[in-house]
Amino acid sequence: MAVIKYQPFYSHASRVYNLPGFGPGRIDREYLRSLGVAAEPSGSTLQGLERGSEVFARRFSERTLIPLTEFRLEEADIDSVVPEIHNYTGRCPALTYEINPVRGCGVGCQYCLVTDGVHEQELVAIDNYHLYVRTLLERFNGPGSDNANHYYYFSPKTEAFQEATLLSGIAHRVLQEFIDHFERFPASRARLFVASKAGVRHLEYRWNGVSVLELFSRLSDRMQFNTSVSIMPDAFRDILEPYAAPLSERLAAVKLCRDAGIQSNSALVQPIVIPYLTREHIEEFFTALSGAGIINYKPEFLTACMENLAMLGQYLGYFDKGLEKELYDAYLSPSNADHLKQRGRTAPDRAMSVDAIRRMSAFTDTLGMSVSICYWVRKQLGISEEDIPLVNRNGFQCLGYQRRLFPDVL
């Protein structure tokens, strides 16, 4: 099928390629020492940083750092698609099936957990993906199935509501499959879990005369919408999320959902840039979330392979060399080398992470907000159920799954 070019729903004045005076450098031992970084990274860590510096310079020169604003429609052999289970730790609260109708992503996050911030692949949208969703729902929650508690996560590997899924109608058709499913099987124990950086323009986009928000409202208490937001300087966020909605637009989207009766009071707070996590910024950020009606959040610190960290550090250093130094101090110590998330991405220093969670929760407790946390973080940081319950007082668990969406779960 033909390639479809588009204008992004959102973009930012500051772009990777137009930062005055910015150019890629080399992150090596000499540079780290010149910054005053206290950590003495291992040889393999330094090799990763140096290799990442070279890749960053090449991609900057070739202008391949952010996605092209185009996508190609493709049809899949639905019968050959193997269901993907979203269960990195083996401790997810209910079996969760992934909904990923796009290969690649048009948002272009430079820290992307799926691609390590690389967006050079062609963006491909699966035009008949809704038929796969139909078969998935019938297989696991239709007549003759076990009809157990199942979440369907839209979408862990790409943005659910980006230009490729909206302009093509794929997102609308996927949502319609859930609506049709519940009309056919009112007792279905399927629940839709949406995690998204969508802004108002995304949710109000109409395909065949119907908006995403209107489809949400028809799903009502069978779904939840979790906004995905980050704690970092605004200018830094604009660079790292080139085609994402601004924070204010994401929180406005949350309010739209709440006004439409949609479960939308939990947030994925990721990534969190630890050097920026001062008391002032904690209070400012979570006060804004609380004002939008958020009562629960799942904190997730920036994780990165060393190649990716070399790029992210340089972006941060453009705005504040002191924050860049603190970033490297939080990640590069050999004692932190085994603090790895899925796909070998390094998380920040454990003690710093625990302290950050405690400082966030101490303030958010005053706002009546609860914290949910995944099993991997709990295990890595030694966080007990006394500190953060598996299912917290507001009914959220792990990634922010709302357990009360299932009638027999407290």
DSSP output for 102-130: EES-SS--TT-TTTTT---SPPEEETTHH
pLDDT of residue 201: 98
- 391 bridge partner residues: 397
With a cut of 70, say whether residue 397 has pLDDT above it: yes
Q: Which tens digits make up the pLDDT trace of 236-278?
A: 999 999 999 999 999 999 999 999 999 999 999 999 999 999 9
Instruction: Report the distance separating Cα 348 and Cα 337, nearest Å.
Output: 10
The DSSP line for 335-402 is: GGTT-B-GGGPBPP-HHHHHHHHHHHHHHHHTTT-EE---HHHHHHHT--TTTS-SB-TTSEETTTEE
User: How far are the Cα atoms of 14, 95, 319, 380 from residue 151, in angstroms, in the given order?
Assistant: 38, 6, 40, 25
Name, in order, each residue with C-beta under 8 angstroms of 244's C-beta and a sequence gap of 6 or more: 10, 107, 108, 109, 197, 199
pLDDT average, residue stretch 66-87: 89
Q: How confident is the model at residue 1 (pLDDT cuts 50, 70, 90)?
A: low
With a cut of 70, say whether residue 88 has pLDDT above it: no
The CATH code of the domain that includes 279 is: 3.20.20.70
pLDDT of residue 220: 87
With a cut of 60, say whether residue 410 has pLDDT above it: no
Q: Which tens digits make up the pLDDT trace of 371-388?
A: 999 888 888 899 998 889
Q: Which domain holds residue 247?
A: 65-302+348-405
287 secondary structure, DSSP code: H
With a cut of 90, say whether residue 116 has pLDDT above it: no
Flag whether 362 is in a domain.
yes
Sort 336 into a burial class: Cβ within 10 Å, 0-12 / 13-18 / 19+.
buried
With a cut of 90, say whether residue 208 has pLDDT above it: yes
Instruction: Report the distance separating Cα 154 and Cα 131, nearest Å.
Output: 15
Flag whether 228 is in a domain.
yes
Instruction: Report the distance separating Cα 14 and Cα 276, nearest Å.
Output: 20
pLDDT of residue 89: 62
Q: What is the mean pLDDT of the chain?
A: 93
Q: Which of 28, 21, 15, 27 is nearest to 67 (CA)?
A: 15
Q: Which tens digits make up the pLDDT trace of 336-350?
A: 988 888 777 899 999
pLDDT of residue 176: 98
Flag whether 324 is in a domain.
no
Instruction: Report the distance separating Cα 131 and Cα 133, nearest Å.
Output: 5
Q: Which tens digits make up the pLDDT trace of 6-36?
A: 999 999 877 889 899 999 999 999 999 999 9
Flag whether 50 is in a domain.
no
Flag whether 18 is in a domain.
no
Instruction: Report the distance separating Cα 309 and Cα 355, nearest Å.
Output: 22
Other beta carbons within 10 angstroms of residue 20's beta carbon come to 6
Other beta carbons within 10 angstroms of residue 196's beta carbon come to 25
Flag whether 376 is in a domain.
yes
Report the chain's terminal Cα–Cα distance, integer Å.
48
Q: Calculate helix-pair angle for 43-62, 306-319, nearest 10 degrees.
A: 70
With a cut of 70, say whether residue 180 has pLDDT above it: yes
Q: Which of 254, 274, 314 is nearest to 60 (CA)?
A: 314
Flag whether 35 is in a domain.
no
Q: Which tens digits make up the pLDDT trace of 119-169?
A: 988 999 999 999 999 999 999 999 989 999 999 999 999 999 999 999 999
Considering its fold, how many domains does the chain have in total?
A: 1
With a cut of 70, say whether residue 328 has pLDDT above it: yes
pLDDT of residue 109: 94
Flag whether 44 is in a domain.
no
With a cut of 70, say whether residue 90 has pLDDT above it: no
Instruction: Report the distance separating Cα 311 and Cα 324, nearest Å.
Output: 11
pLDDT of residue 346: 92
pLDDT of residue 130: 97
With a cut of 80, say whether residue 92 has pLDDT above it: no
Q: Which helix (H) or strand (E) holds 268?
A: strand 266-272
